[in-house]
Structure 1
Amino acid sequence: MTARRPLSVDLVLVPVDASDESADAVAHAAAIAAEYDATVHVVHVLAEDVVEAIENGEVDDAQVAADSEAITETAEEIAAANDVSVSTSVAYGFSTKMKLRHPGSVVLDTAEELEADFLVVPREPVSGDPGEILAKAAEYVLLYASQPVLSV
């Protein structure tokens, strides 16, 4: 007799930024995905200063792409170590044109769009580092997500 799982998980969503806590969240997401034979989707959420610079045309596109690629490569390495497939995307965590766009809403919108079954969000200490934009998003996601959420 096979043990029955009360939860069905096909896709685990994990938002990331440039923090160490994000890499830890990817590791947890990959472990969950491995347990349920699911895939992981990593969404790199861009910080407010980066989004403003992009929208104002004041940013080095090559540097933003390189930073995002480094974050994505780290996530792919972690997922591969767990023998889990991973997909990735990048999203603006803020907007100068849309008042209600913030990291928490971006995570929930991405989860809905991709039909994610489980969310893993980094809960970061608020150190003031501009690259750590997901610190407050975790609380928002925990409050409003319709999927199960693990905050690490």
Structure 2
Amino acid sequence: MHREEFYRYLVFSVLFLLLFFLQMSRALAAPEAGMHLRFHMILSDGKQYTLALTVENAGKVRMTRGYVVVTPVDTRCRVMPSQMLSLPALAAGEKQTVRFPLNVTLHHYRLQMQAFDEEGFDIPFADDNAGVLSERLQAQRDWCRTVRAPV
């Protein structure tokens, strides 16, 4: 294993553990109605990137259709083409972890989610990590300005 791959693996492992403990602390709170993205992260071996998601239907109706749009951002802070990923149907109260291989090399990503019941009506979908991610937004914007600045 090359040194760079080792450090990348180490960083992803530490982030995984931090997010895992954050999710465990949030699990004690009462869930809101609707769909919840409980956890998400990118896994990588340095060659292949995989998006891992834990989705929970905390509502009272079955989610028949759902999708996640992942928008990758490269190391120069350029937005790459988005990929739409279909979620499996989830009964009320059901939770599932899914993994999607991504055909890109990325630095970070953005997610958008949507879900529908069996009659085609929208089910509200919340990213339970949004608070933590919003705290990092300014640092990401600063980083983008730095890497995109003319040399």
Same fold flag (TM > 0.5): no
Which one has a larger percent strand, Structure 1 or Structure 2? 2
Higher-Rg structure is 2
Which one has a larger percent helix, Structure 1 or Structure 2? 1
Greater RCO structure (CA 8 Å; 6+ sep): 1
Report the TM-score, using the length of structure 1 for normalisation: 0.28
